Amino acid sequence: MAAHKPFKVIIAGGGVAGLTLAQMFEKFDIDYVLLEAYQDITPPVGASIGLMPNGLLVLDQIGCYEAVRKVAESANNGEAYTRDPNGRPLSVQRSLFQHLGKRHGYEILFFDRQWLLKVLYDQLRHKDRVRINQRVQKITTGPTGVEVTTTNGETFSGSIVIGADGIHSTVRQEMRRLADDRSPGYFPQGEEDNVPSYYQCSFGIAQDVKNWIQGEQTTTCGHGKSFLVASGPEGRCYWFLLIKLPNVMRGKNIPKFTKQDEEKMVQESRGLKIKENLTFGEVYDKRISSTLTALHEVVFEKWFYERIMLIGDSAHKPNPIGGMGGNGAIESAAELLNHLLDVRDRRVGGLDGIGTAEVQEIFQQLQQTRFNRATEIVEAAHKQQALLAYENPFISQAILHVGARLLSGGDNTLALMGSQIVGGSRLKHAPVPSRPRVIPFEHELPAAQFSAQHHTIIRIVYCLILGALLLFATRAFGQSVPWVDLLTVGKTLPADAKAQAALVTVQLIAPLLVWVVEAYRAGNQNSLVSLPTLFAAATSFLGISRVVLLYAIAMTTSPLLNPAHRAIQPAAVKSILPALLLGYIIPSIVMVSQLGDGVAVPTTLWHFAPAMFSLGTAIIWKTTALLRNHREVASKVSDGNDDQNLDRYRDLELPILNATYIAAFLALSSTHTWALVNASFSSSGPAVFGINVLVNQFPIFDLTRALPAILLFELYTVYEMRRLGQITTITAIRAACLVLLAQILVGPGASWIGLWFWRENTIAGLSTLNEKN
């Protein structure tokens, strides 16, 4: 009979992790009992919680999202500031929460932690399975199950124990006691005594604070301290004041603060500026509740032993500055359920009578799934706090004061937050609700991204590509091409020079068009590729081949492209073809028409044509915008800092951009075909590659030296799309083969434009925001 013992889970802890897990178990008909140490399952402890899109996705899958959203009221709809120690703005991200909603399908919800616990509890069907005043005292494990004895003398039997009882976990202590007795050396010696605390934190809830603008969020830097203050429903204001401890405290030496300690800290900190017209004391005086605590930062090396498993803060606890603590607990709960259901589906008899070895395999898989991500979250929060608190003043000054101003107006804040969101977990055995989003979660991509296990290979590939490009550039720059030769006017060419010049000038459209398109992407702002006029102007002094090489190197160091970064304002795209015609094509026609046998080459003015194309795009865009009295369109790029710029996610520019690509592709491929046909009847050789008298005398036209680099860069682009999971392996192989074949069939210029057209639409297709039902 013991072999068929019904499967039952004992959950220790009624916090976010425990109640979320209970909700999941009810949804999938897994028996459980939840033991809460306190007399209230939703205690008013004065804490807040920020639910990120990765956590909200899981809550949505178990049917709790709408209730949570209703309670939270999405009160944050204003500006998100980073401020200096005097409260002055260093940078601002307007409509942060709305942008995140468009990008990831869910806005951040900031509200009382107690309210979340109440929603999770209220939606339980089996509230009788939640037992309050049941603090774990002792755990006994056996070959078929576990027994948990609580401090009031009651005993609960089950198949496994899940410790969701926080950083001071009794379950972890019991797990270690059992392991030390039965398996000495299983846990690292002294691990708990080495858990560090770097900061103390005053957190709490205030209401109706004067000079606090509802909807705002602010992060205020300081020397050895920082603030995170966010708006909440009902005029609430949630604060976190983090103050560096005099020394790093560890384990049992980490202090526990009293109310007297808190009062002393408040008196010393009352004058600290949160913003220019608001101090900490003014917020604290309007408090509803407050707490002072030391902050633990840790990812324990092992999370399980026999039939006992830890999730949430009892296994991994980050600094709260990153807002990922509760969301990480939800993710761990989701992954636990995933592995349990995987085993239940393939095992005869489901989970009933499951053996200890099978349980340990489930726990091992859970830890492997979550360990690296939990570690990355803890490390990222630690680095963020160190930056805000000026632990290294030089680095903080450089990034927060200089870098924030140089990089303002880009996607930097959104991209940084998104990098931690997209890797979140989901319930594999439940449908993902349809919440349109521009950026898919990693589990929604066509293929798995290259994981942390591939980091060495990724670095090697990147170094090889970058090294090859640098080698090409070194060789190209090693060949003498005096700049005066590039501007010479008096040289003459043979009769076929006109045809060669027409061919080469058309082929140069490919790099010039790519430079302009990439310059206006939201994700490329503040990078080198946002300076197309610089690259275009440099061709007059360095030659096209050298500049193309430099551009390929710049692109490999630019931000990675995703559907949100891909956006370009439609008005900018509309300006490309007119600027190309006026600034480049017409001057090229004039120059080519004057070529001929014994005629001096009028290239001096033509040297300005590439730069005039890129510069003309900006001029036409801004002039058109001003004439239409649309100031927001006249700004240089879509910078994510205006409510109107939420339209950037609608792909309004894609049809225009596609038409531009197609027009360029047809021009480039047709001239290449004409050159191939012409070369077959000529003894002068294949002029299509820029080899002949024209480029020999005028190196500005010579794209030949850059062709290997262009091909390498195109293949690297395909590889990057596969590495990021944007395409499958078979698609990447096919694309690489087409790139190679296209060099001959349509020419290197058309191949480049064709690849960009395919990349544009492939990445845009990852967005579900604009799908038609």
Stretch among 130-139, 223-232, 676-685 having the lowest mean pLDDT = 676-685
Q: How many CA atoms within 13 Å lie on the side-chain side of 109? A: 26
Pairing of strands 217-220, 225-231: antiparallel
Q: What whole-number distance in Å separates Cα of residue 501 and Cα of residue 505?
A: 6
Six token digits for residue 391: 């632990």
pLDDT tens-digit map of 259-277: 999 999 999 999 999 999 9
Neighbour-count burial for 197-235, b at 16+ CB within 10 Å, e otherwise: bbbbbbbbbbeebeebebbbbbbbbbeebbbbbbbbbee
Residue 749's contacts (CB-CB under 8 Å, 6 or more residues apart) are: 506, 507, 508, 509, 510, 511, 668, 672
Phi first, then psi: what are they for 8, rounded to 5°? Answer: -145, 140
What is the average per-residue pLDDT within 583-591?
85
The CATH 3.50.50.60 domain(s) of the chain lie at 2-444
Picking from 333, 345, 413, the residue whose alpha carbon sits closest to that of residue 162 is 333
What is the average per-residue pLDDT within 641-665?
84
Stretch among 222-236, 683-697, 756-770 having the lowest mean pLDDT = 683-697
Residue 512's contacts (CB-CB under 8 Å, 6 or more residues apart) are: 532, 536, 580, 584, 610, 613, 614
Sign of CA dihedral 690, 694, 695, 699: negative
Terminal CA-to-CA distance of the chain, rounded, Å? Answer: 53
Pairing of strands 79-83, 217-220: parallel
Indicate whether 695 pLDDT > 70. no
Stretch among 52-61, 142-151, 600-609, 706-715 having the lowest mean pLDDT = 600-609
pLDDT at 332: 96
pLDDT at 353: 92
Angle at 25 between CA 20 and CA 30, to 5 degrees: 160
Q: What whole-number distance in Å separates Cα of residue 588 and Cα of residue 568?
A: 27
Mean pLDDT score of the chain: 86
Q: What whole-number distance in Å separates Cα of residue 388 and Cα of residue 394?
A: 12
In this structure, which CATH number among 3.30.565.10, 3.40.630.30, 3.50.50.60, 1.10.8.60 belongs to the domain 2-444? 3.50.50.60
**120, 49 contact by CB (below 8 A):** no
Picking from 54, 2, 557, 703, the residue whose alpha carbon sits closest to that of residue 325 is 54
Stretch among 56-60, 148-152, 558-562 having the lowest mean pLDDT = 558-562
Q: What whole-number distance in Å separates Cα of residue 139 and Cα of residue 161?
A: 9
**544, 706 contact by CB (below 8 A):** yes
Question: Between 626 and 758, whose confidence is greater?
Answer: 758
* Most confident among 484-493, 501-510, 663-672 (mean pLDDT): 663-672
Length of the chain counted residue by residue = 773
Indicate whether 773 pLDDT > 80. no
pLDDT at 212: 95
Stretch among 290-294, 707-711, 738-742 having the lowest mean pLDDT = 707-711
Query: With the CA atoms of 96, 401, 294 and 11 taken in that order, what torsion angle do they form, in degrees rounded to the nearest 10?
Result: 30
Indicate whether 503 pLDDT > 80. no
